[in-house]
Amino acid sequence: MFSIADNLSSIRKRMASACARVNRDPAGVQLIGVTKTVALDRIREGVEAGLTILGENYVQEAGKKVGALQDLEVTWHFIGHLQSNKAKTAIELFDLIHTVDRKSLARELNSLAQKRGQAVNILLQVNVGEEETKSGTSPTELSSLFSYASSLDGLSVRGLMTLPPYLDDPEQVRPFFRQLRESLDRMRDRARRPELLTELSMGMSHDFEVAIEEGATLIRVGTALFGARKAASDR
């Protein structure tokens, strides 16, 4: 059984190879260690091995972990579906929220951010496969959501995020990653501050290499790093 340090080394080598194939600087891609259901000692092991960004799917679970691991020099990203009633806690815990997918959530985050006197960094989540079981604004509604979110003083829109359809062959996912990159390019063309739109959060354990080839700047890796995830009933 490989250690987390071994897994991290292997992932970074794969990231570098993917960057080399498309002449990208590896420094332009950051790895998020997805810690959903991962025990604290294993998270510590990952950070000791070199992880600097941790991603959580649930606000309540994250709250316990952030408190228990506050001695670690890491940043926390929220990568799960965010309910509006958890928004206040989310902006207190996370440095970047990847999953803003509706105007009502943007409005709530903006109101909370203005009360704190500090802008919230967000990504807009796009449901590129238009799957009924997944969150995210539809590609056709992205322009409207971006216009609204970018008009709010309490929000800093930094880019896009997607969770594409799961397909056994990562090459079949490539068009969805390309679609997200092209969407970000269009957003930059009409943005007042295009220099802020730097992030593409896409790619997970089974397809992150293709995502990097298509422009990902943030990849979200859990299973390949920490091993198979516990079932929800085992948490």
User: pLDDT (tens digit, 9 = 90+) per residue, 100-121?
Assistant: 999 999 999 999 999 999 999 9
Over residues 49-69, the mean pLDDT reads 96
Extended strands (E) in 9-162: 30-34, 53-56, 75-78, 96-100, 120-126, 155-162
Task: Mention every residue, 6+ apart, whose C-beta is less than 8 A from residue 155.
Answer: 100, 106, 109, 110, 113, 119, 120, 122, 149
For 101, the token pair is 């997918």
pTM across the whole model = 0.95
Contact 219, 19 (CB under 8 A): no
Over residues 55-82, the mean pLDDT reads 96
Over residues 123-136, the mean pLDDT reads 93
User: Does residue 1 carry a pLDDT above 70?
Assistant: no
Q: Which of 17, 19, 12 is nearest to 33 (CA)?
A: 12
User: Does residue 227 carry a pLDDT above 70?
Assistant: yes
Spans of all domains in the chain? 4-226
Count of beta carbons in the 10 Å neighbourhood of residue 52: 14
User: Does residue 230 carry a pLDDT above 80?
Assistant: no
DSSP bridge pairs for 137: 126
What is residue 231's predicted lDDT score, i.e. its pLDDT? 53
Over residues 125-143, the mean pLDDT reads 93
- Looking at domain 4-226, which CATH architecture does it have? Alpha-Beta Barrel (3.20)
